[in-house]
Structure 1
Amino acid sequence: MLRPEQMSKVSVAGTKSVVRDVIDVAHEQNLLHLTDYQGEYEGFDTGSPLGGAEEAADKLVTARSLISILGVTEEDAGPSRIVTEEALEDEFEEVRQEVNELDDRRDELESELQSIEERIAALEPFVDLGIDLDLLSGYDALEVAVGQGDADAIEDALESAEGVEAFDVRTGGDTVAVFVYPSGETDGTLDEALVGVEFTRFDVPDAEGSPEEYVQELEQERETLQSKLEAVENDLETLRLEHGGFLLAVEEELDVEVQKAEAPLSFATTEHAFFAEGWIPTKDYEQFRSALVNRIGDRIEVEEVERAEYDLEERESVSPGLTQGSTDGEVVTDGGAGTDADGSRASSELRSDGGHADEKEIDHPPVVQDNPGPVKPFEMLVRTINRPSYYDLDPTIVLFLTFPIFYGFMIGDIGYGLLYTGLGYWIYSSFESDAIASLGGVGVIAGLTTIVFGLLYAEAFGFHLPYTPVMHKGLQPAEVEWAQLWLVLSLAAALVHLTAGYAFDFVKQLSHGVKDAVLESGSWVVLMFGVWMWVFSRHAAGGKPELLFKVLDGHPIALGFNGFPVAVGYVGLALLVVGFVLLVAGEGFIGAVESLNVLTHVLSYTRLAAVMLAKGGMAFVVNLLFFGAYTYHGEFHFMTGTTAEQVLHHHPEATIMFGGLVHGGVAAILGGLLILVIGHVLVLALGITSAGLQAIRLEYVEFFGKFYEGGGKKYEPFGHDRSYTTQD
């Protein structure tokens, strides 16, 4: 769990006559993560696509276009099928022609409809005006303009304008029609007269008769076009229902064909031979090798070049998988690559025309995180930061163990926990996206821990259940010592969590030697425990918070701990000095500056107790506003079955905190119900955005910050999980 699956580097070599068979088998196995050839071997070139690659790629683009045009979805798939070459040539072409013709016709009708809509919209001002369209244009001497503007301002401008012998202004709604008869033969008299007047001019439609009648004609034409468009849409829908499954199968088959045809682009090739390398989970190597050998026989050489170590330092000393001799590009397939001086097998060889292969960059293995089922959803939280490196320890199991506990502790409510669990399960079961489904899985587990803590607190939606809780949140005045306990236990949780982070880093640093591990990781642990051993000791106890010594000594839990002895405090100070010296020796001035992290990072975990109290307080306030509450003998009580008058009658010494909207009139009750529902919804949502973010922050910043680098390569095997097609 703490390491990814071990990966093996595999080489496959053979003559070009079997390259297609090799690609077919490798694709069926869906195990080999191909490594692109980078030109590192003299005499070898990058391979070229197989024949038909370009044609298949063109058809694939066409298939995806048809699927998009028809709106085909997975629900249209139907049973899986075999897609033959004849179907790709004949049936696919027929469907393409039908769909494209209908799509072109649809585009044409939509364009005509848009034009009609624009013309109708342009006629609206003329309908308001109420003047026949043929009266607004076509004059030799009379100048006409139609638009929007201030009719009074227009009339004033025309009266004072030179060259205007007569004019008339007609209005209808917001539309103004201006008629001007010039006194001379000069064109543009109307335009000159309206200079300086706000007037937006409309183009007069080239039509005759009433604008209302013309609009009616256009609307009839629009209805006809809409009817035709609906018929085309129905024809396309029929094609979707009839051929949707076929198109999905064609797309998948072509996708597979293109993958296979382009695979040689990752190969090293000569005129007669090819060589391919890639990564495969070590446990699957024999299955992969057997599949190739059973299909192709001894015409190929399959070799496990390397089993990648988890230590990068050890991997860097591994020589490349290929060496070169002088056989003019011939592939040696005589059962191996010879033996070393001690009789052991050498790495697989592909020989060229002399010399030795240059040392190439280390080809880092892709990462397959190896976690059991319940832990897997938390891999998404790790990958949100970055995929673990092959040489990193995978912290997913730690997130699985700590994140739900942090979250459940902060919310601690049966009602909210049930809702989180239900919501998480719905997300997990409803979405195909692995990332979203994983988020749902995390929600389910976090919801379950919230229920567990709710049972311990005896609380549901902010109400105390009718049984004695195992522990209290500390919201009641009489339970304030529990709130103090949670602050102290938050510090203890921090020490455990951070120690795990430093331990991860210590293991990583061991690859550089024990000294580096001690100076760069162990120093932090020594320093941190030195600081906090002193903090929890009785040394200088008068200057420390009293809660450190009483919360586990009977207030509220009697574990007999009232602080470490003074001697332990001195040991802590000694460890503090030793840790600081080791830290400075390992990290220099930066280490000295950052040494305070052992204090601040631990204190950061007190947010666990703070958020718990805040969320519990919010739920309490929501219930308080609706039901009302009173204090009696240092405890809060909701007035769910009583009124303020009844409470004071039976308990005169009680204090009414709030009477409760439920005890008011109808309007108060309705407003209270709204507050109750919205309030609890907000608390539920803030549980995700606040408690969830605070918990994940502790993981990402405090915990991951101690050791995690990430940068792993995603495992992408060459192959395809068929959904719509079958080869049988």
Structure 2
Amino acid sequence: MLWPEAMTPVRMRRVAVIVPQAALRDALVRIAEAGCVELDRAEEAALGAAAVRLRRLRGRATTVEPEGAASAVLAADLPDLDRLEARRSIELLAGEAQLEERAEGAVRRGEVAALTGWCPAAEVPRVAGRLAAAGGALVPLPSPRGTDPPTLLRPGRPVSFTPLVTTYGTPAYADLDPSWPAGLSYVVMFGIMFGDVGHGALLLFGALALRVGRHRRLARLSRLWPFLAGAGVAAMLAGAAYGEFFGPTGLLPVLWLSPLESPARLLAAAVVFGAGLLAVAHAAGAVNRVRESGWGTALYAGSGCAGLLFYLGLALAAAGLFLHRPPVAVIGATLAVVGLALVAFGLFRATAGGGAGCAETAVRLFDVVVRTGTNTLSFARLAAFGLTHAALADLVWRGTTGLARHGVGGVAGAVLLFAVGTALSLGLEALVAGVQALRLEFYELFSRLFEAEGRPFRPWHVPPAEPADSATKVIPCSPG
């Protein structure tokens, strides 16, 4: 897969399902089994026979099982609903209720029924082949004007960072998919705050145990193993640069700097690193604004081209002042002023004009300037929490070596102190670093990438009641 394709959501196609009315149920069963199509549903569908019986059995108003529920199954042939109710076959009734709801949204003309929906473009041929066996067809349609397709981010097997993006929200269909860059930046920020070879190795071991483990209680967390593994590797690399192995034990040489001895350098490096991430986020946001609304809007947007020009100008001006290069500083300041002027023009266009519009523009422009500075300085927390982690590890190590000098009892106490102190610092600092990296990801970076929220792709999938033969088993689609 080419990287431009990997950086965009799965391509969707608007499709129509056209089948003879007599074969509508068979076609819907095949669609539900494939699990690749999101069918349009009637806004005010009447309760079907299966839904009424399901409601009686449950004794509450819910008529249809939630999407993707494992307790709904479908029979290949139309079952006797009265018999299902008598047997309290809730799973089959739930599947029939979902099927009735989809069938209610079909448009019928003579002997033909048609439904519309969305399907990943790569899965259209496979779904069309399954429908052909029922005498139907899957016809690609042009996308309706003013309607965005649903968004499906690429799962990226076997390693996926999409949960980081979907936890924040669903990107618009036209936006970039930042899953991999966001995941890599997350683990790097975690490693800077949690730099220790020994502690990182423990995280990596925990990730591998989560990946191969069979414990039911940890099954729901298994999809998070890439984050834990990446964080462990990043922590080990940062720890090697800091010379930290379960603290400043002296077992490793300092390859770059010691956090406790050079806090100012670490602080400056964290801010520069954050500025680089913000520049990349601004650039990606500019691409998203162009893809969403075209150049006319993107040129003046604070999270578009104007905001990118303003931020790059500020960075260039700051670099010129730091390096004592006045021409570079002047060029950077000029670019920043031009970018800020474009942002102001875009803000004023969104107001009602006049004096009130000017006042509103001034207030919002001041907010843009202040937020740009505070967001950049916010990355100083990478160094701050890195210092905290190093200080805690140093405290545990000093106590351990101090106790070890007092005979056999002191050695036993030192071992106990080292084990308990390492466990406490590992748990506390891992939680803090994870939360802080997530906070920087969401508030500083994603706030520049996304302005519009998309709609997640929710294909209809209900498994068959009877297991299929090994030769004819249908695997639900997993686009990407």
TM-score interval (norm. to shorter): 0.7 to 0.9
- Contact 1:473/1:613, CA 8 A, preserved across alignment: no
Corresponding residue for 1:552?
Answer: none
- Contact 2:210/2:218, CA 8 A, preserved across alignment: no
1:267-346 equivalences in 2 (<5 Å): 267-269=106-108, 273-296=112-135, 300=136, 302-306=138-142, 308=143, 318=144
2:380 matches 1:612: no
CA distance in 2, matches of 1:514, 1:281: 28
1:139-154 equivalences in 2 (<5 Å): none
Change in 2 beyond 3 A, CA 1:85/1:2: closer
2:242 aligned to 457, 462, 467, which one? 457
- Contact 1:47/1:267, CA 8 A, preserved across alignment: no
- Contact 2:191/2:235, CA 8 A, preserved across alignment: yes
CA distance in 1, matches of 2:308, 2:84: 70
**TM-score, normalised via structure 2 length:** 0.79
**Could you say what the CA RMSD is over the residues aligned between the two structures, in angstroms?**
3.5
- Contact 1:47/1:266, CA 8 A, preserved across alignment: no
CA distance in 2, matches of 1:695, 1:526: 26
Letter in 1 for 2:456: K
- Contact 1:9/1:277, CA 8 A, preserved across alignment: yes
Q: Secondary structure at the match of 2:467?
A: coil
CA distance in 1, matches of 2:113, 2:100: 15
1:36-75 equivalences in 2 (<5 Å): 36-38=41-43, 49=48, 54-55=52-53
Corresponding residue for 1:33?
Answer: 38
1:476-495 equivalences in 2 (<5 Å): 476=261, 480=262, 483-495=263-275
CA distance in 1, matches of 2:340, 2:452: 28
- Contact 1:413/1:459, CA 8 A, preserved across alignment: yes
Give how far 1:571 is off: 1.7
| Structure 2: gaps (5+ residues) | 1-5, 60-69, 348-360, 470-480
Letter in 2 for 1:502: H
Q: Secondary structure at the match of 2:8?
A: coil
Corresponding residue for 2:227?
Answer: 442
Letter in 1 for 2:326: V
1:247-646 equivalences in 2 (<5 Å): 253-269=92-108, 273-296=112-135, 300=136, 302-306=138-142, 308=143, 318=144, 362-373=146-157, 375-376=159-160, 378-428=161-211, 429=213, 430=215, 436-464=221-249, 466-476=251-261, 480=262, 483-511=263-291, 512-520=293-301, 521-538=304-321, 563-587=323-347, 588-589=361-362, 590-627=364-401
- Contact 2:151/2:173, CA 8 A, preserved across alignment: yes
Change in 2 beyond 3 A, CA 1:19/1:53: farther
| Aligned residue-pair number | 433
Letter in 1 for 2:298: A
Give how far 1:445 is off: 1.6
CA distance in 2, matches of 1:47, 1:458: 68
Q: Secondary structure at the match of 1:714?
A: coil
Q: Secondary structure at the match of 1:537?
A: helix
CA distance in 1, matches of 2:58, 2:78: 14
Give how far 1:606 is off: 1.4
Higher strand proportion (structure 1 or 2): 1
Give how far 1:498 is off: 0.9
1:712 aligned to 444, 454, 461, which one? 454
2:426 aligned to 663, 673, 684, which one? 684
The structure, 1 or 2, with the larger RCO (C-alpha pairs under 8 Å, 6+ apart) is 2
Change in 2 beyond 3 A, CA 1:671/1:470: closer
1:191-270 equivalences in 2 (<5 Å): 253-269=92-108
Corresponding residue for 1:331?
Answer: none
- Contact 1:431/1:437, CA 8 A, preserved across alignment: no
CA distance in 2, matches of 1:92, 1:528: 65
1:700 aligned to 435, 438, 442, which one? 442
CA displacement, residues 419-466 of structure 1 (integer Å, 9 cap, x when unaligned): 112223333444588862222331122112222223333422114454
Letter in 2 for 1:372: G
Q: Secondary structure at the match of 2:13?
A: strand
Corresponding residue for 1:217?
Answer: none
Letter in 2 for 1:302: L
Give how far 1:402 is off: 0.7
Corresponding residue for 2:25?
Answer: 20
Letter in 2 for 1:517: A
Change in 2 beyond 3 A, CA 1:564/1:375: farther
| Structure 1: gaps (5+ residues) | 40-45, 62-73, 75-81, 97-249, 309-317, 320-361, 539-547, 549-562, 628-659
- Contact 1:425/1:441, CA 8 A, preserved across alignment: no
Change in 2 beyond 3 A, CA 1:451/1:394: same
- Contact 1:386/1:710, CA 8 A, preserved across alignment: no
Give how far 1:616 is off: 0.7
Letter in 2 for 1:601: N
Corresponding residue for 1:140?
Answer: none
- Contact 1:57/1:254, CA 8 A, preserved across alignment: no
- Contact 1:268/1:274, CA 8 A, preserved across alignment: yes
- Contact 1:14/1:274, CA 8 A, preserved across alignment: yes
Letter in 2 for 1:726: P
CA distance in 2, matches of 1:604, 1:22: 55
- Contact 2:259/2:390, CA 8 A, preserved across alignment: no
- Contact 2:17/2:138, CA 8 A, preserved across alignment: yes
Corresponding residue for 1:10?
Answer: 15
CA distance in 1, matches of 2:109, 2:46: 8
Corresponding residue for 2:352?
Answer: none
Q: Secondary structure at the match of 2:138?
A: strand
- Contact 1:583/1:592, CA 8 A, preserved across alignment: no
Letter in 2 for 1:663: R
CA distance in 1, matches of 2:54, 2:440: 50
**TM-score, normalised via structure 1 length:** 0.54
Instruction: Report the identity percentage.
Output: 23
- Contact 1:580/1:592, CA 8 A, preserved across alignment: no
CA distance in 2, matches of 1:440, 1:272: 52
Letter in 1 for 2:422: H
CA displacement, residues 38-73 of structure 1 (integer Å, 9 cap, x when unaligned): 48xxxxxx5774x65645776799xxxxxxxxxxxx
- Contact 1:10/1:305, CA 8 A, preserved across alignment: yes
Give how far 1:505 is off: 1.8
